[in-house]
Structure 1
């Protein structure tokens, strides 16, 4: 699979990496492009109500499954101090290449500790050679919904949103609140999927199961994702890690997001 051709340059203030593209797109009243995902086949934004939920695991599983359909880039917008993906080896275009199921995918992450990728700007200036973008968003849902450009992106029709939560009572309750906020903001049920990361190896306590039922009522679909510590430890999902459970979870996510025809 050919690598995306876009090259990346740091902002002069050192806070973000932005695409070296042509003139910016036309902006709406919120300062966002009128068609943020127009050049992409698919745009998936992976979010959580807080940190440590398994968001990066979920983003990597999606990328590994969807990369067979065409060039795919995972955008990690965590600050460089917190992103282990910034340590991945990069090619001349500034992107790291990772193995997926049936192909490779690419990762855009901060390249220095004090830098951060501006995900919305990357989406606005997406390389026409990219088929899919998976945004691994560092900030929690309620913060994103208070940022006009992010609000505009998350509520754009056809943009899929994956809400990630760990399989424990507190995180699941946070996810219920976040799902309700996303729905009230205008995210359509069919574009909103919950991914519950199984940190209890299948033994979910009754109060947590009750929260899962509540969460299922707030989203278009819900699926279970295995807990894969290697993503947190090394910034990547190692080849073969997770076995069939990981592959089945990736398949389920693609199906729930109505991406199965493309994949």
Structure 2
């Protein structure tokens, strides 16, 4: 199914369409096999069930990020639905991130209704006075106590210290000299009829912690992305959309011509 016309608009607040096609949920995925967590949360949990807990922690709201997904086949069959692909901390923008004031930000990316909106990725950023944060060595030691030696440690793209844990189909990846599963990202669902794989098969899930040290205050960033869940969601959602716009028996319309 090539040459599809695809239209996706992204909103930060909930929108409603008069007409929406549906996606059929799969069975619930197995419990995630890795131990990594952020604020005691893991991918696989249903986003709408954990958002209130995160809002209580932050003392503020998380805004849904919604795409208005429209896919039309060359024959004119159309799929249209609003799909929530994640949540962002309200009031945190470029000015906050580039400024000097302390802040905490949470970002979630979740699956489509195919996986019941389950969390796929979690990001947490904290900028606080140094007196309120452990030093980088103490943080790395805490993570090693929880998860064992990291799969890799080095410098992140922003120049901070980073430790990375990679979960593979065979379990946690041992210490590597070169950074494994590098330059991977996940932005949430958007239809693609010729989709490239989201990550190599050996990258089942990736947990990172990075620390930027500054005079007076520092920034810690955590991320946890389940690329196995992402693959399931992307592939099945694409398949269902293509199936819905590939029907052979089309009912004639009844509009007043």
The two structures have a TM-score, normalised by structure 2, of 0.25
The two structures have a TM-score, normalised by structure 1, of 0.25
| Between structures 1 and 2, the one with greater strand share | 2
